[in-house]
Amino acid sequence: LLKPSGLMLRDFTCYPHISNAPGHYVLYWELKGNNDDDIKELDTNMLVECCSVVEESLDALYRRYRSKEGSIGALEIRIVQQ
């Protein structure tokens, strides 16, 4: 998904955000340009699509708690810079 935007995932980390109910996972992504280190903005639609792709790749137990049980909130991606 990032390739057409000229971006690559340089590094990431994940944090369980549990201060609100239901808790959810926050992914912090560090991006870089394919040709240089210029970071380009990702629009909201692209971030939503990235969240969907990541959530689909997670195991059945996560998806069950996320959709049917409602005990895990929506995945969130935040873009960070080095």
The confidence score (pLDDT) of residue 60 equals 92
Burial group, residue 31, by CB count within 10 angstroms (0-12, 13-18, 19+): buried
Give the domain ranges of the chain. 3-80
**Residue 59, pLDDT score:** 92
pLDDT of residue 72: 94
Question: What does the alpha-carbon distance between residue 76 and residue 14 come to, in Å, rounded to a whole number?
Answer: 10
Q: Check residue 79 and give its pLDDT.
A: 92
Structure confidence at residue 37 (pLDDT): 57
Per-residue pLDDT of the chain (82 residues; tens, 9 = 90+): 787 778 888 999 999 999 988 999 999 999 888 776 566 667 889 899 999 999 999 999 998 998 888 899 999 999 997 5
